[in-house]
Each structure stands twice: as structure tokens, then as C-alpha cells.
Amino acid sequence: MDSSLVPTSKLGREPYSLVLGYPKATKKELGKRIAELKKLGIKSISFEGPTILNNIPVLGKGYVGVVVIAKQGKKKVALKIRRVDSSREEMQSEARFLKMANKVSVGPRVIDSSKNFIVMEYVEGKKIIDWVKELKGKGSAAKLKTTIRKVLTDCHNLDMAHLDHGELSYLHKHVIVGRSPCIIDFESASVNRRTSNVTSATQGIFIGSGLSNIVKKIIKVPSTKRMIESLKKYKHVQSRENFDEVLRVLGLHKV
């Protein structure tokens, strides 16, 4: 299906109702959700993106929600829709975690939220693994190093805010690279466990992943032993000094 702008009032009809109330919602639930969207100022949804859901393109799908492009007034935003079968009863908790990340300049900016929706800044770009695959030619190593350093710095800031993302071992799914890299999807975030953002992300980029295999072809990567030694030290004391040592071992300190 081609990307199409569908007014909020028509989202209760098939096939769009299958996205608004994924995987299946009652007419009553769909009606409540449409009223909720109108309160949030969502005028329409544009069905486009790399993920196909019931033959409809969307930005993404996770265990908790489906993400689409929407219009709030004249502004293009990202809208996360709570899945009907989600174990989460509401979206405000995730929105609070994202606001915590926003306070340290991490993640897409939260605009609004309700029981079933989060309205946030639309971050244009590609998943980091696709972005890295397309890096070619002169200057690609410098670009990659700059991007990785920014991602890891954001991770350190999350560690300092005592907010654990929870999914950064699978970093290839949770970083979008556009004008600048952006960590997304805080649905598994927590303030109740020890933070491991830097350690998880470093392993996700450099050690034993599909992404690491591509990264190694573009930049020189230290031995796994050296990386793990510096990460253990950082994990024990998550100081700026120990973070800088991780960057030095990774060859990112002079970027």
C-alpha cells in the first residue's frame, strides 16, 4: 500500500483499525482511542515506513507498541500506539522514562502522552546498521567514529541519570542515524536496576554482532580482552574518568 494520509476520524475502519488497535480491538476500544487521539491534537496518520503490518507500512513494531508518522496540527510527529495485547496497561510510564532521557539530551523529545499513546519528535534517519552498511569512500572511518562516540556519550549520560535503557545489547535496533544519532524506544527502560548503557552499547557495536562485523571492516577495533577490561573498570565505577578510558581504548578519544 502506498503511503497515505488518513484523517483520525477514519482510523476505526479497516485496514487502518488493525494498526490503531493492533492486533485486534473492539469497536468500543477503537472509538475510545480515536477520541484520545483527538484530545492529543492528532489530525491524521501517514502510513509509511520500512515495517509492514497487515499490508500497511509503519515506522516500527515492538512488544509494547506500533510507531507511525502522524500530524499534530501542521507538525510531523512520531506516534507510538499501545498494542491491545501489550503487558503494559498504559504508556505514561514509558513517556516518563523518555522525559528523563530528554533531560540529559538523549532520545526523541516527548511532546505529549496518554493511556494508549506517546507523541514525540519525529527523528528522520536510518537504523544504525543500515547507515553503517552504506558508509563508503573517503572519510567513512571518521564519520563512523564520530557517530559511535556520540552514541556512547549519550549512553554515559543515561548512566549518570540512573536510567537503564534495557535493550542496548541490540543497539542495531535502537539507534537511528540522521543529522545526529538518536537512541530510541525506551519501552524496556528502568530506574530500578543497575545501569549498563555504556557496557551494553559497546558490546552491541564492537563484540560479536552483525553490526560489529561491519564496523571492523571500517575502523580498527582493539582486542576483546582490552575492551572488556576497560568496561569492567567502568562498570565498577561509572565515572567520567573511566568512561574516557573506555573511549581511549576504543580509539575514540581524539574524535
Q: Which CATH architecture has domain 5-121?
A: 2-Layer Sandwich (3.30)
Locate the DSSP E strands across the chain. Answer: 5-7, 42-46, 51-53, 56-58, 60-61, 65-72, 75-82, 110-113, 117-121, 126-127, 175-177, 181-183
The answer to whether the CB of 206 falls within 8 A of the CB of 246 is: no
What pLDDT does residue 136 have? 76
Unique residue bearing C-alpha cell 535493550 = 167
Q: In 84-209, which residue ranges form alpha helices assigned H by DSSP? A: 92-103, 128-133, 140-160, 197-206
What pLDDT does residue 2 have? 42
What pLDDT does residue 177 have? 97
Q: Which residues does residue 120 pair with via DSSP β-bridges, in sequence order?
A: 78, 110
CATH code 3.30.200 region(s) in the chain: 5-121
Q: Which long-range contacts (CB under 8 A, 24 or more apart) does 241-246 make?
A: 243/152, 243/156, 243/198, 246/152, 246/198, 246/202
Per residue of the chain (255 residues), what is the pLDDT tens digit? Answer: 445 799 999 999 999 999 999 999 999 999 999 999 999 999 999 999 999 998 999 999 999 999 999 999 999 999 999 999 999 999 999 999 999 999 999 999 999 999 999 999 999 999 999 999 999 777 899 999 999 999 999 999 999 999 999 999 999 999 999 999 999 999 999 999 999 999 999 999 999 889 999 999 999 999 999 999 999 999 999 999 999 999 999 999 886
Q: Which residues contact 202 (CB under 8 A, 6 or more apart)?
A: 152, 227, 231, 246, 250
The single-letter DSSP state of residue 75 is E
What pLDDT does residue 1 have? 40
CATH code 1.10.510 region(s) in the chain: 126-249
The highest-level CATH class for domain 126-249 is mainly alpha
Element (H, E) at 241: helix 240-249
How long a stretch of residues is the chain? 255
DSSP letters of 50-63?
SEEETTEEESEE-S
Q: Name the pTM for this structure.
A: 0.93
